[in-house]
Amino acid sequence: MNKEKVLVIDFGGQYNQLVARRVRECNVYCEIYSYKTPLEKIKEMNPKGIILTGGPSSCYEEGAATCSPDLFNLGVPVLGLCYGAQLMSHVLGGKVERAANREYGKTEIDVDTASELFKNVPAHTTCWMSHFDYISKLAPGFKSVAHTSSTPVAAMENVERNLYGIQFHPEVLHTPEGSKMLYNFVRNICGCAGDWRMDTFVEDSIKRIREKVGDGKVLLALSGGVDSSVAAGLLSRAIGKQLTCVFVDHGLLRKNEGDEVEAVFGKGGQFDLNFIRVNAQERYYAKLAGVTEPERKRKIIGEEFIRVFEEEAKKIGAVDFLAQGTIYPDVVESGLGGESAVIKSHHNVGGLPDFVDFKEIIEPLRDLFKDEVRKAGLQLGIPERLVFRQPFPGPGLGIRIIGDITAEKVKMVQEADAIYREEVAKAAEEWKKANLSDRFGESKEGLSVDEIFSREREFNPDWMPDQYFAALTNVRSVGVMGDERTYDYAVALRAVRTVDFMTAEAANLPFEVLQTVMSRIINEVRGINRVFYDLTSKPPGTIEME
């Protein structure tokens, strides 16, 4: 397993996870490590290739992030990207200087198609630049293989030593041929076979889980979200009834969500595991009654979750393993992998391990990016509607009801949200029918997981939000319905386009869709007489309302 590995050495750039994802999309396994990783450790990992990422420093400055010159003598192909390329030049005897002007944004570029790096790339194309410094003199043995109007060395190579550098960012979508360049590096130059695939991942994981768990018992908190669902599917395929999943329905789930999760994982579902659904709605509503402060609400929901889970765990008794749906970005972001992003420390449902009586943690998705988790889910036969689910916050509708929470309000927001999701999905299907007439309606039978996946992602209109939901405001206003005065709640519709959920823009949903949603909500959901569309971007807003 993972014999073929490319290392992404992180110098603190903002796109570093993206570099790793793009490499994985070439079916090559890779991992992110800090530039501080000792050379000995890098050697031990026996990589097929090394990619040096971008970063915020200037390589000629004192104290700048750097690497050992011996990194380039391992006999392993190295590709430097942006800062990585400059650093390669600097360390190997070239010159890097500050340019008069920063080169930023989409840039026309001429590439030397004789270079292995640019195989199958048009000689004239576009790339995404973001740099102040530039390579003013090549290191000995290197030649320039791409240039723009202001950058003489937009890419360079030393074929004898298998060293390559690219000044721009091939990993971002604004470099349309970028994926091809990374493919050329990892598959052709490094010679990786491209055997990192989700079917083999699933088979290998099942084997490894069986070896690790033996005849032990495993406990998993299943939220119904993508990560824990895929973890449950994988574990159940590996160890069946040795797995117990506890699913806490806190009464703040989307419409029918609890039943949907139960249908897949419960009795008679497609997985053979012990499934415990705890219907804790009443408990939650009682605890939350009259509470309006957002942080307080979040806290109560989190604490109550732990309490319910603890009670169930006690009934089960000691378990050998506690399973968690941790995924690779959680690992990187908590500072365990790369350099760039100690953005947030990772908490899986608020510190579960403290009280559950178990010996070891098991994290079967620890090496996967979100996209790969979804693919593994498809591979395991988890229904598409669960696999392609939007992110849903742990506190659920609790933070989508502004002010105090009541069962009636939960019902209102559930109904409004279900209508909204139904109409957006319908409009997207209609758009596909009209715009993708050549492909639409083709059977998915016989398609690989990769093909189903790219279809799901790419065959969507521009306005398709990455996350969208209804939230209940605490505004009540006067309306008129069938000659009667009403004094009811207003619902807010949220729809955002985002790549990383750290920043977001309001999605440009077609006005007709919004109107249909408005009219259906007002007609069908009792207690709501007004609909707002939230235009706020993040920042300054957040995606959720509370």
Residues that bind ligand XMP (CB under 6 A): 391, 393-395, 467, 501, 538, 542-544
- Nearest residue (CB) to ligand XMP, 391 versus 479: 391
- How far is 511 from 416, CA to CA, in rounded Å? 17
CA dihedral 101, 105, 106, 111 (to 10 degrees): 50
Q: Work out how close the CB of 390 gets to ligand XMP at its nearest, in angstroms, rounded to a whole number.
A: 8
* 3 state DSSP class of 476: strand
- Nearest residue (CB) to ligand XMP, 63 versus 539: 539
Q: Work out how close the CB of 248 gets to ligand XMP at its nearest, in angstroms, rounded to a whole number.
A: 14
- How far is 258 from 119, CA to CA, in rounded Å? 50
Token pair for 148: 């723009």
- How far is 82 from 70, CA to CA, in rounded Å? 20
- Nearest residue (CB) to ligand XMP, 435 versus 542: 542
Asked if the peptide bond before residue 393 counts as cis, ω within 30 degrees of 0, the response is no
Report the largest interatomic distance among the alpha carbons of the chain, rounded to a whole angstrom: 85
Q: Work out how close the CB of 467 gets to ligand XMP at its nearest, in angstroms, rounded to a whole number.
A: 5
Backbone phi, psi, residue 148, to 5° = -120, 180
- Nearest residue (CB) to ligand XMP, 355 versus 501: 501
- How far is 454 from 394, CA to CA, in rounded Å? 28
Helix, strand and coil content of the chain, in percent to the nearest 5, comes to 35, 25, 40
The count of C-alpha atoms lying within 13 angstroms of the C-alpha of 327, restricted to the half-sphere facing its C-beta, is 18
Q: Where are the beta strands (DSSP E) in 363-483?
A: 467-481
Based on C-alpha coordinates, what's the Rg of the chain?
A: 26
* Contacts of residue 181, Cβ cutoff 8 Å, sequence gap at least 6: 117, 118, 121, 166, 170, 175
- Nearest residue (CB) to ligand XMP, 258 versus 394: 394
- How far is 84 from 19, CA to CA, in rounded Å? 12
Q: Work out how close the CB of 348 gets to ligand XMP at its nearest, in angstroms, rounded to a whole number.
A: 10
- Residues annotated as catalytic are 82, 169, 171
Whether the Cβ atoms of residue 407 and residue 302 lie closer than 8 Å to each other? no
The count of C-alpha atoms lying within 13 angstroms of the C-alpha of 516, restricted to the half-sphere facing its C-beta, is 14
Q: Which of 155, 176, 243, 190 is nearest to 49 (CA)?
A: 190
* Contacts of residue 187, Cβ cutoff 8 Å, sequence gap at least 6: 26, 28, 194
Whether the Cβ atoms of residue 515 and residue 423 lie closer than 8 Å to each other? no
* 3 state DSSP class of 478: strand
Whether the Cβ atoms of residue 151 and residue 129 lie closer than 8 Å to each other? yes
Whether the Cβ atoms of residue 239 and residue 209 lie closer than 8 Å to each other? yes
* Contacts of residue 325, Cβ cutoff 8 Å, sequence gap at least 6: 220, 225, 227, 228, 230, 231, 348, 363, 365
- How far is 478 from 470, CA to CA, in rounded Å? 20
- Nearest residue (CB) to ligand XMP, 28 versus 253: 253
